[in-house]
Each structure stands twice: as structure tokens, then as C-alpha cells.
Amino acid sequence: MTWLAETVMLSHGWRRWLILVVAGAIAAASAAPFFLLPALFLALPVWVWALDGAERTRGWRSLVGPAFRIGFAFGLGYFTLALHWLGAAFFEEGGLFLVLMPFAVVGLAAILSIFWGLGSSLAHLFWSAGAFRIVTLASFLALAEWGRGHLFSGFPFDLLGYALTANDEMLQLASAVGVYGLTFIAALIAMTPALIWPADQRNLVRRLVPIFLAILVIAGQVAWGNWRINNTTLVERTDMKVRMVQPMILDHADWTAANPGDVVNRLIQLSESKLTPTDPGLPGITHLVWPESVFPFFLTNYPDGIALIARMLPDTTLLLTGAPREPLGEDGLPIPDNPGFNSILAIDSNGEVVASYDKAHLVPFGEYLPGQPFWRLFGINQFVPGTNGWAAGGGNRLMTPPGTPPFLALVCYEAVFPGDIGDPTKAQFILNVTNDAWFMGSIGPAQHAQHARLRAVETGLPMLRAANTGVTLSIDPLGRITAQLAEEQIGVLDVVPSEPVPGGTIFNRVGELPFWVAVGLGILGSLIASRRPRRVA
């Protein structure tokens, strides 16, 4: 390992670039659903050693100099491997779109890597020769991850903190510090091997102390999580019995070929399924949930379908369904230049839409096209087939349909944004409808589901997650999966959600304060450490 550390420190040019891209790709194995945490301990020290050997530059060049390229190269390897599954969506169309796939995947990875490059260059400005340098890099890397999740609409997939969520016990720390707090911790502890090598005048015990402390942190995380699980009493609701439908409807890719009557009848047939000979079916179900993208048409423009749904629903059953919603003006006509909303509709047994939520956080290039005039020059109106994109909703995610406890409505991708899903103190559960059909056969659906689980832990709210092709889940307020349908399994799932965690969570009360305190102290300490006379670590 001393040889490796010295090789990385002395490398430059394409050799350094290649080493860092490979190290970043290794680090990606720590992401969901693999959770190979040792990969992070193997990879992140390479970043530290590379900065140890990086040339220092002055002025503005320091932000785009060798340290930036080090972080960028590491990020390029990480994001290309961690998010490679996004390329599966391009197989929906083939042709030109399929040719664009590798450019799109690597291009997205490169854009995200800019954040890590800037974090790396800022860390190098405060670099020191001592052990505190790993705190410096962890602080600025965590800050870069926060920026990646918030700036330019945000894209917080595969934050480093998800590496510390491999089991129910490890999940619990998110209830106190959130996934950004976990990101700081993951980065810091995974860099500790960089303090062991290269060997110097310190004795072996002193060099091993940091990694032993890192192991103790993980052990403490698991122990606290086990204590929290065993000492939290959850109570099932008495006013809800929910049936979630996973229908595997793939007509969303081509609205012109869809048969509305067939789609509605298929959903009704599944919804009325009897799971056992004595199962009454829909009677006794208070809420029926259909996922996102099951309607390749505007449901409210299909009165025959609404009538079929109304006849299906018992008087005491409310349908909560993902559905496109076409906005109408006061004249009853579609509003010009508004392509419609990707929505959740609440429909009662009279066929009336009694509540709705319009998706506010849209997927760039998937649900709207940034820089659309430019792409139109090439005849491209939308990368994802089936629609011409969506308009963004107002952002009020709290839904309160009649006879239903208030809940937070999240459509698909909105569930990956920590701290930006609405006010959890006003809700009793989270409803997440999604369609991961674009990514069938890849790790995407499992990764997406893991991200959603963290929102339940952070908020202390149960989550009902209905997916078109999977994974449909019932998640308790501790993030544990209490029932599920396998990916690409057609069926229904009957569940009774629990009450929220008594008293809420620390994250509900203080939000990202622990994260900002840790990052702030880390940067302050880095400033002090960087001004000390240089000496060998």
C-alpha cells in the first residue's frame, strides 16, 4: 500500500487521470443496491493521496487546476458507473436516441463531476500536511454533494451517504442527521486509510488509530440503530386499509397506440382481485392506489373511463392514482402552451376528482427539455417518448382528500430530494407513485426505491410506494419494508400503514443543522490547520 500511495502522489497527466477514474468507479460499488462499503475505503484514500502530490496554483487557476481535475476524474468514474442504468431509457426509442446513449450517460456524469472537481479544488486551497486534511476534503466534498442536490434543479442520486444505509439498523442515523449528514460521515471515515500509508516515522499503532475510530463509528451507528428499532413502538392505523396495484402497463411510451378502454379495464380487473378464496376484494379497502404513468391519455378527458372507475369503487373507497392532468381555462378549453401536469388525482365513488397534486420537481430532459429551442434545431422536442413534456405544479405536496388522513404526495423522482418533500409535521404518511419501466432490467428501480426509504426514516412517516413495474413497497416509519411486490410482478398489495413515529424525528426538528455544523467546523479547522507551519503527517 505504501507503493500505491507513493505511485498516486507521484503520478501526473493521463496516468493520474486513469488512476482516479478507476478509483471513482470502484467507489461506485458502495452505492445502492450493492452497498460494498469497503470499496469506498479503498477508493477515497486515492483522492487524498492525489491531492497530496498535486501542484499548487495561484489565483483563479486554483479552481480549475490540478486539484479540480483530480476531483473531476474521480467523479467521472463514480457517476458513470453508479448511474449507468439511466442509459436503459434510450432503448425505448432506439435509432438516434440509442446512438446518443453513451454520450448522454457520460455527459451527465461529467456535469455532476464538476461539483466534485470544485470541492476538490477548494479543499486543496486549505490543504495541510497533517491528518486534518481528510476532514478538509470530507467537508468540501460534503458541501459539493449538497450543491449537487440543490443547484440547477438538483440531482441528488447516489449521494455518498447512501453507502451507510445497507440495512435497517444503519438506516436509523438518517432520522437524526439526514442523508447529507451521512454523506459527511461516509466521506470522512472512508478516507482514514490514507493516514496509514505511506509509512513514516509514526509507529504502526498511531497510524492505525483513525481507521479503528472509523470502525467504531460504524459499530456505533449499527448499535444506535438497533436500539432505536427496539425502543420505538409503532401502532397500525385503524382508519386505513390500502390496496396498491402494480399493473405493468407499458403503453406510456406511445400514446397514439394506447387503447383507453383496455387500460382502464385492466386496472379495474387487477383492483378487484381476490387474494384468497375468502378475500372480499375491494370492499373493506379504504384507499386504492394506482401508480404513475398507467394512463397514456388525459383521464379527465375520458368520461367513459371515469364512469367505469366510479362503478368499480365502493362508497367507502377512494382512488389515489397517478394520471396526466390537462389544465383547462375558464372557457373549458385547454390552456395554450401548457402541455399538462403529471399528477396524483383523488377520485371518489361518484367519479369526482376531490383533490389533486401536480408534480412540481420535474426531471430535466425526461419531463421537460432545458434549452428547448436549441434541441428543436435537431428536430428533438423531447428525449423521453410518449409526451411533449410536462408543466411544473405549484409545489404544495400536502393532500387532504375527504375522509383521508393528510399525506405528502410525491411523484416518482420527487422522493429522492431530502428535506424538500413538504412539511412532515402536518402529514400522517407519504404517498409515492412512480414508473420505473424505463429502467427495467437494470439496478435503477432498486436504487430508486432505496432512496425513497430514506425519506420515511428522515421524516418518521410511513410510505406507500406504488410502482407501475416495481418495486411496490409498504415502508414503515423506521424505513423497514413491511410488504412488497417484486419487480415486474403483476399484482396487488394490501397493507395497513402505521401511525408516524411518536414525537417525530430529530431531522424533522433541526433539519440539516448537524450537517452544516459539521461542515462549518471542518472548514474552520481546515483554515487553521492550513496556516500552521508544514510538517510531515
Catalytic residue IDs = 292, 359, 412
Q: Are 314 and 349 in contact, with CB atoms under 8 Å apart?
A: yes
**Distance of alpha carbon 328 from alpha carbon 19, whole angstroms:** 56
**Distance of alpha carbon 164 from alpha carbon 178, whole angstroms:** 11
**Which residue type sits at 150?**
H
Residue 276's contacts (CB-CB under 8 Å, 6 or more residues apart) are none
The gap from C-alpha 415 to its chain's centroid, in whole angstroms, comes to 6
Reading the block at residue 242, the C-alpha cell is 390500502
Within 83-231, where are the H helices?
95-125, 133-150, 168-171, 174-190, 204-230
* Best CA proximity match to 431, nearest among 402, 392, 472: 472
The gap from C-alpha 231 to its chain's centroid, in whole angstroms, comes to 28
DSSP code per residue over 235-288: -B-SS--EEEEE----GGG-GGG--HHHHHHHHHHHHT--SSTT---STT-SEE
φ/ψ of 528, rounded to 5, equals: -70, -45
C-alpha Rg value of the chain to the nearest Å: 25
**Distance of alpha carbon 403 from alpha carbon 400, whole angstroms:** 8
| Three-class SS state of 473 | strand
**Distance of alpha carbon 302 from alpha carbon 358, whole angstroms:** 19
Burial class (CB in 10 A: 0-12, 13-18, 19+), 437: buried
Residue 254's contacts (CB-CB under 8 Å, 6 or more residues apart) are 296, 385, 386
DSSP code per residue over 339-387: --EEEEEEE-TTS-EEEEEE--SPPBTTTB-TTHHHHHTTT-S-SSTTS
